[in-house]
Chains A and B, each alone.
Chain A
Amino acid sequence: MKGSLDDLLKRRIKTLIVENCDLDIQIEDIDDEAPLFESASMLELDSIDALQISIAIQNTFGIAIRDSKQMRRVMKSINSFADYIQPE
């Protein structure tokens, strides 16, 4: 199953982001398609948060994000994140 269709995985990713970035937000309030890093994003994440998340993903799922272009593509939204972690 593609990650974007796996609600349990998406919930894990949201929890990982909220806990690792110390966000004062309920995971239910994070939209699966909403941008994570743009200025309009409700999460207000930045490049240091992106690094924090990428290392947390590596430690939790054993998946490394190797370069910044890939990081931008993967961390576009919760759905893109989930599809990267679980492509099929």
Chain B
Amino acid sequence: MYIHSFGRFVGHPVEDIKYYKQDVSQYTQLHFRRANRFVLLSLAGACRCVHGRGIGKDTGVYLTTENGNLGDTEAVLDQIFHQHQFPMPYNFINTMSNTASFYVAQSLELFGRNLTLSSKQFSFERGLELLRSDQLCGAVKEALIGGVDEAYFSGQQFATKFERNADTIDMVEGSCWLLIKDREEGALGRVAAIETFANMSQVLSWMKARAFQGPVQAGFGLLMSAPEKQAIIVALPHSSPFDYISDYGYYDSATACGVTAFLERYQGNCLVHVNKDFLGQFVVLVIEQR
């Protein structure tokens, strides 16, 4: 899987939805009247990824997200259970999981495979795995894959989920995308490995047995503990920590942000990203950049 371009839209949520509409209007003439925050967020990242380059009409769209249309889902539940009203149709339609990836395909005039995937803390990694399988069996030659999530509503919501103080984390929303092809020519880099492990000792054994190209940047998911990070740094020769969450803030599919930030900063380096879920499983993602 060769990475040909990337796009990143990460920041603090802006209340006025017009901010996102204006941003997206830089890239497309379409008017997204009924689009909500999540849809526009998806578009902002995807459009940046392909801006100025021609992409094939059969390009697939793999939108990965941990929470999907969080804001509209909350609005619909509030309308039904608190206000005892019918849900507003726009809100209801936008809770459908595939709405955002439909809008991405529509705005970029893409007719390829169109998927929205969610797999808790590993959503982006599982999306890449699926894309790899689809490429291997010839179902998809090129695809846009993005990690999109809205910011947490509050520090309390974050603290409840992660059992840690929200004050230490900058909570942002994000939409980070890669254009991936099966062709090496013209690529910025490649996805060299995606591996899942049941425990930390398996991760370390795998790393010790593998050679990594060039200087290694070690990136980590939010659930990785300090001792686990240190063990990885020790296991990887010539590695340095790449703390993209401190640099850009946290949103739930932040792995995608880490990959795009690495591609922007570290030419000729290798990214080893280790993510962990609440079950204690690990996924290692290796990106090699030219």
Contact = CB atoms under 8 A, between A and B. Distances in A.
A24 B86 CA distance: 25
Interface stretch (A27-35, A48-56, A70-78): A48-56
A15 B86 CA distance: 21
Nearest to A21: B33
Given A23-B33, A48-B90, 8 more contacts: A22-B33, A22-B90, A48-B34, A48-B93, A52-B88, A55-B89, A56-B88, A58-B86
B31 interface: yes
A23 B85 CA distance: 23
A26 interface: no
Contacts of B34: 22, 48
A55 B33 CA distance: 18
B89 A52 contact: yes
Contacts of A23: 33
A55 B88 contact: yes
A21 B85 CA distance: 18
A58 to B, nearest CB: 7
- Which of A48, A56, A58 is most buried by chain B, counting CB atoms within 10 A of its CB? A48
A74 to B, nearest CB: 17
Main secondary structure of the interface of B (DSSP, over half): loop
B15 to A, nearest CB: 15
- Which of B31, B33, B85, B93 is most buried by chain A, counting CB atoms within 10 A of its CB? B33
Interface string B26-51: 00000101100000000000000000
Interface of B: 31, 33-34, 85-86, 88-90, 93
Contacts of B88: 20, 52, 55-56
Interface in A30-88: 48, 51-52, 55-56, 58-59
A21 B93 CA distance: 14
21 contacts: A20-B88, A20-B90, A21-B33, A22-B33, A23-B33, A24-B31, A24-B33, A48-B89, A48-B90, A51-B89, A52-B88, A52-B89, A52-B90, A55-B85, A55-B86, A55-B88, A55-B89, A56-B88, A58-B85, A58-B86, A59-B85
A58 B90 CA distance: 16
A24 B93 CA distance: 21
B2 to A, nearest CB: 40
Contacts of B33: 21-24
A22 B89 CA distance: 13
Contacts of B86: 55, 58
A56 B34 CA distance: 15
Q: Which 3 A-B pairs have the closest CB atoms?
A: A51-B89, A52-B89, A22-B33
Contacts of B89: 48, 51-52, 55
Contacts of B31: 24
A1 to B, nearest CB: 29
Nearest to B90: A52
Contacts of A52: 88-90
Contacts of A58: 85-86
A62 to B, nearest CB: 11
A48 B96 CA distance: 15
Contacts of B85: 55, 58-59
A77 B90 CA distance: 22
Interface in A2-22: 20-22
